[in-house]
Structure 1
Amino acid sequence: MARFEFVTDWHFEAPIEAVFDALTDSLRWPEWWPGLVDVEQREPGDEGGIGRVQRFVWKSHLGYYLSFDIRITRVCEPCLIEGVADGDVAGIGRWRLCEESGGTRVHYLWQVRTVRPWMSLLAGVARPLVVWNHHAMMRGGQKGLARHLGGAKAQPADEMESVPSRGRW
């Protein structure tokens, strides 16, 4: 199994509440996030979203598809959304939001391991392409979210980085 840890930072000239609302409304992400083919509600969760399960299907820039469920484990409105992934990849995703510089800073952590054998093989021989693909997908998400927020200006996503796996996390 290949392990990946990705860190992405976005900044939008938009109120934190608007950004938080867009991120928690993931059933609508395919409307603005290129590469996200489908999001399907599996379980509704409680009033705050805890326990909600949704299936995400992504088509990568490299042509392969990823399908995984995300179960929401923590929500602190309007600054934190955390979930556990299970499917083609398994691990955690965490959105942290804070008000900054007249807008909203979004920090995303995605710590996953591949589950399917072909993905582990691909990651082993083509890791730089997998990393490039992730960042390209995130840049598309940033641009799409900026449009979705009514044309909110977004800082260039050049802060995106991948962090080499550190074994356990």
Structure 2
Amino acid sequence: MPSRHFDLVSHWRIDAPVDRVWAVLTDPEGWPRWWPYVRSVCLLKVGRADGVGSVRRIEWATRLPYGLVVEVEAVESLRHERLRGRSRGALRGEGLWLLRSDGGSTHVTYVWRVELAQPWMRWLAPLLAPLFRWNHRGVMRAGGLGLARHLGVPSRVLC
């Protein structure tokens, strides 16, 4: 059975200070309030005070006719700069949030290296890769716009 990896990169510029953006991103249980494609977030394991070691189950909707459930373990947290998590479930891999302050704005880059765990996705990946990328861009774009609305600020989402 073929194995397919995807390297996906998204960019958001949020017109809010990095501490406000950080506070929202480090509260995954709050994501469903502002990220339209996040259906639910459930804390499975409490980690350290900085979040490292915590595990959450995240249920995602998509722009396509399927949903995904992944468990994400926080493995790194550098305040106001970097968050790293490892996922298992429908998508296995590593996600990295990078934040950079630029005056009163925050540049957010999300790097997602993922392996498709579901057999049907692996089999169809050679054919559907452009559709999977389109789907990811839309989900991330909605997240950036939702975050800006949640914070009451403009954004420039470059997904």
Structure 1 counterpart SS, 2:155: coil
2:59 aligned partner: 57
1:1-41 residue CA offsets vs partner (Å, 9 max, x unmatched): 21100111111110100000000000010111011111110
AA aligned opposite 2:147: L
2:85 aligned partner: 83
CA distance in 2, matches of 1:49, 1:9: 23
CA distance in 2, matches of 1:122, 1:141: 26
1:133-153 residue CA offsets vs partner (Å, 9 max, x unmatched): 00000110011000111x211
AA aligned opposite 1:2: R
**Count, aligned residues:** 157
Asked if structure 1 preserves the Cα contact closer than 8 Å seen for 2:17 and 2:103, the reply is no
Q: Identity percentage over the alignment?
A: 36
* Structure 1 length-normalised TM: 0.90
2:69 aligned partner: 67
2:16 aligned partner: 14
2:132 aligned partner: 130
1:102 aligned partner: 104
CA distance in 2, matches of 1:64, 1:101: 40
CA distance in 1, matches of 2:52, 2:64: 33
> What is the CA-CA distance between 1:122 and the residue it aligns to?
2.8
> What is the CA-CA distance between 1:101 and the residue it aligns to?
4.8
CA distance in 2, matches of 1:129, 1:115: 17
* Structure 2 length-normalised TM: 0.95
Which consecutive unaligned segments of at least 5 residues does structure 1 have?
A: 161-169
1:32 aligned partner: 34
- CA RMSD in angstroms comes to 1.0
CA distance in 2, matches of 1:93, 1:68: 12
